[in-house]
Amino acid sequence: MRLVVTGAAGMLGQRVVAVARDLGHAVTGSDIDDLDLTDAAAVRERLRVEAPEAVINCAAFTDVDGAEGNEELATRINGEAAGNVARAAAELGAFVVQLSTDYVFAGDATQPYTETDAPDPRSAYGRSKLAGERAVAASGAEHAITRTAWLYGAGGKNFVDTMLGLAQTRDEVSVVADQRGCPTWTGHLAPALLEVAERRASGVHHLVSRGECSWYELTVEVFHQAGVSCRVLPTTTEHFPRPAPRPAYSVLSAARDDAVLLPPWQEGVAAHLNERVPA
């Protein structure tokens, strides 16, 4: 499959490119240094030259707190640029896989959100990502909206590595225990995204590791698997005020009959730790 991956320099994009090449696909990666996705004409020309059969759009404005003070920029990148990619792909008959997020939901549910639940974002970041979903859906391209959450992996700043770094200099860390979600390792998400592209499985997908936990429980598991002696103390969201509201409950569930299922989140932790310190 001829494939274009945007946002290829990011934590997820790097992994998607690497896995795609391992699977034998002809992959072209692009990022802001060689293609500005907010430039519709440039996007059309680049995709015309590459002639992909599928495009996986990993490019995004990911600064959740920064989006609160600059929602216009976040929406231009997460919303308008996504539409530019999808419209250009539509002209070529290329399938589009658009990355989205648990932040498109309110985060006040009591049971997992499925693909058919109505979005209701409470943050600028969430609104910008929902704008991207809608732009892609309106583009005319055959597409999949793939929502994920709590990403971590090699090649980018992430919660798991941050906690492991803190454990090197502290005897204890305080971690919020009143936010629940689905920690998802990029090494499990990347092949799932490629499977969606290969199958041209259109519609909305929830691609997260199976199971759920709090940030506190995730940290306890990470330290346990890593053999770290740092103590983990539970705390609440109100003790860590941030510009953007964090969803209290943003667990995603895959209810599609043809859902691509990822392994349990604990397996992702183990795989990530194994990569950080090869056996």
Burial class of residue 33 (count of CB atoms within 10 Å of its CB; 0-12, 13-18, 19+) = exposed
CA dist 154 and 158 (Å) reads: 9
Catalytic residue among 103, 113, 125, 249: 125
SS3 16: helix
Q: 115 with 260: CB under 8 angstroms?
A: no
- Token digits of residue 193: 């995204």
Of 135, 25, 122, nearest to 77 (Cα)? 135
Amino acid code (one letter) for 149: A
Q: 27 with 17: CB under 8 angstroms?
A: yes
Decide if 125 is catalytic: yes
**Which residues are known to be catalytic?**
125
